Structure 1
Amino acid sequence: MSVALFKREVWAANILAGLDETLVYAQPQIVNRDYEGEITSQGQSVRIVTVGDPSIFPYKSGDTINYEDIDTAGTDLLIDQGDAFAFKLDDVDKAQVAVNPMMKTTQRAALKLAAQADRFVANLYTGVAPSNVVGTTGAPVSILATPTDAWDKVLIPLRTKLNRANVPATGRYVVVSPEFTGALLRDSRFDRVDASGSSEGLRNGIVGRAAGFDVLESNVTPVPTGSVQVIQAGYPGAITYADQILETEALRLESTIADAVRGLHVYGAKLLRPEGIAVAYVNPAA
């Protein structure tokens, strides 16, 4: 690829597509994108509008019905996060590579951008409602004593927490670490995707179904201390997320005989419904 062939819109779309294919915590099935406005710069805000619940009242035939106004409220989602990449490739080195090196390197940059966005969204767990927590950092749940520990001591309590919080059952997920997946594989109740014979509705990182959850695996599950990991369950209405590739530029460098590419990914996320997620502190090493 030469700078002359660079098309900014195409590359921006390709980078976003690469992000969408690798995101776990920040993918659309885990977070919602219910915001208004176009993202044009880092540091701006987009508006999120929420609608209140209607009241339920007793009714008998012939009763007069009074219609209430539904409350709408708004909150701002700050696009305060930004990650960039910038690289160059000498013409001599580029000539020795059979594949398109600039595009391949940009695709790899998209993978790293996705990991950074995922880490940011994953750490929103700290805003969880206090009643929706299983275990503590000081007393995490052990998941290796018996083959059923991961299911019975973590997933079922998380399910109960969400049920008590009246969280919709449709679309529930749980994001786990590779170690937690390993513990689940010991339980015959775990419905593995690779053994189900179906790829319908697959999500990034999905490994199976358990206890009413889509189970997704991530390498960026939070580790607040030592070997303690945070397992997060919830539904897509709890967290909102917005992102944009603001800049993708190709440059012909003046100081050397090389092409360069740089890009900027900006994003923001907010836990709107602290009761819409539940977390468990687990120790997969104990």
Structure 2
Amino acid sequence: MSTANFIPTIWSARLLESLKKTLVYGGLVNTDYEGEIKGKGSTVKINSIGAVTIGDYTKENGVGAPEELNSTQTTLTIDTAKFFNFQVHDIDQAQANVKLIDGAMKEASYGLSNAMDRYIASLYTGTVATNMIGSDASPVVPTVANAYDYLVDLGVKLDEANVPEVDRFVVVPAWFHGLLQKDPRYTKDSNVMATGYIGNVDGMTVFKSNNVPNTAGTKYKIIAGYKGAISFASQVDQVEAYRPEAGFSDAVKGLQVYGAKLVRPEGLAVLTVNKA
């Protein structure tokens, strides 16, 4: 696509970057299997071991015969492929005197990351029913007085499901975070107000994202959990620079493949809320 519409009388040596969301979900998943994928359609078999029996020892009975371990297997499928493909005309590069391709690559990288962030966030649908507060039929409408309390309740759901306390998180939309900022229980740490630090609630690191899943601006899915609940693997399959045959331009195309799996549904808790 030509950049002719952006040609000014005097050219600037800088590009105005687009406004971007904060991407957080990609940092809240397990990526242990990332090096094992080969491309779209490939699969990774993930094994898990069941509980080991603990018995009472006596000298008369000893420990008995060893038990057979119970194992389960789940499949992580690399089922999503995203691409970008753009060109910069030679005349545009000469006139603009800006690094158009470098800027476009940054935009492409962000676009791919944003798509992955939304993809990971959508996996909340596998959460076990006992770990849910509110529903699509009866969403909670939080207020300044109780928004903090609802996050504590999510933490209790994780406690009751024996979810590890290390690397716990909760992701809220901006308007919900605004409610928390008006609650002195959340802002009692001076660093929260002075630096914009998101803070913690009941041992969970609070993140803010505009990618919190919602339906038509309602029924926001506030997801709490720990890093081991979702396994995610991605790979940049190809990035190729080329000269299109028609015209005079430089072009770059790229392909990224990825997949994710909610391997521990009990490791997430979901609060369904509507904005007041």
- The CA deviation at 1:116 is 0.8
Q: 1:110 to 1:193 in 2, by over 3 A?
A: farther
Match of 1:278 among 262, 266, 269: 269
Between the aligned partners of 1:74 and 1:281, the Cα distance in structure 2 is 30
- Structure 2: which amino acid aligns with 1:215? V
What is the match of residue 147 of structure 2? 150
Aligned to 1:112: 111
C-alpha separation in 1, matches of 2:39 and 2:256: 10
Counterpart AA for 2:181: L
Letter of the structure 2 residue corresponding to residue 245 of structure 1: V
Separation (CA, whole Å) in 1 of partners of 2:201 and 2:48: 31
Question: Can you give the 5+ residue segments of structure 2 that lack an aligned partner in the other structure?
Answer: 1-20
Counting aligned pairs with the same residue, the percent is 40
Deviation of 1:37 after TM superposition, in Å, equals 5.8
Check the 8 A contact 1:142/1:149 in 2, yes or no: no
Match of 1:260 in 2: 251
1:175 corresponding residue in structure 2? 171
Q: Taking structure 1 as reference, are residues 226 and 107 closer, same or farther at Cα in structure 2, changes over 3 Å only?
A: closer
Give the distance between the partners of 2:145 and 2:240, measured in 1 at CA. Answer: 52
TM-score (norm 2): 0.84
Paired residue secondary structure (1:262): strand
Gap change, CA 1:68 and 1:187, over 3 Å in 2: same
Q: Which moved more, 1:44-53 or 1:248-257?
A: 44-53
Aligned amino acid, residue 55 of structure 1? T
Give the alignment's Cα RMSD to 1 decimal.
2.7
- Equivalence for 1:134: 133
Distance, in Å, in 2 between the alignment partners of 1:192 and 1:68 is 52
Q: Using a 3 Å threshold, how does the CA distance of structure 1 residues 219 and 196 change in structure 2: closer, same or farther?
A: closer
* 1:209 to partner: Cα distance: 1.1
- What TM-score, normalized by structure 1, do the two folds share? 0.81
Q: Is the 8 A contact 2:34 2:232 kept in 1?
A: no
Closer, same or farther: CA 98–68 of 1 in aligned 2, 3 Å: farther
The reply to whether residue 49 of structure 1 matches residue 44 of structure 2 is: no
Query: How many corresponding residue pairs?
Result: 255
Amino acid at match of 1:280: L
Q: Kindly indicate whether residue 216 of structure 2 is the aligned counterpart of residue 220 of structure 1.
A: no
Q: CA deviation at 1:59?
A: 3.4
Q: What is the DSSP-based 3-state SS (H/G/I as helix, E as strand, rest coil) of the residue aligned with 1:151?
A: helix
SS in structure 1 of the partner of residue 241 of structure 2: strand
Which 5+ residue runs of structure 1 have no aligned equivalent?
1-20, 200-204
Offset at residue 188 of structure 1 (A): 1.5
1:71 correspondence with 2:70: yes
Post-superposition Cα deviations, 1:203-241, rounded to whole Å, max 9, x if no partner, equal xx9722112210011111111355221100001111111
Query: What's the offset of the Cα at 1:110?
Result: 1.1
Distance of 1:112 and 1:234 partners within structure 2: 25
CA distance in 2, matches of 1:192, 1:252: 58
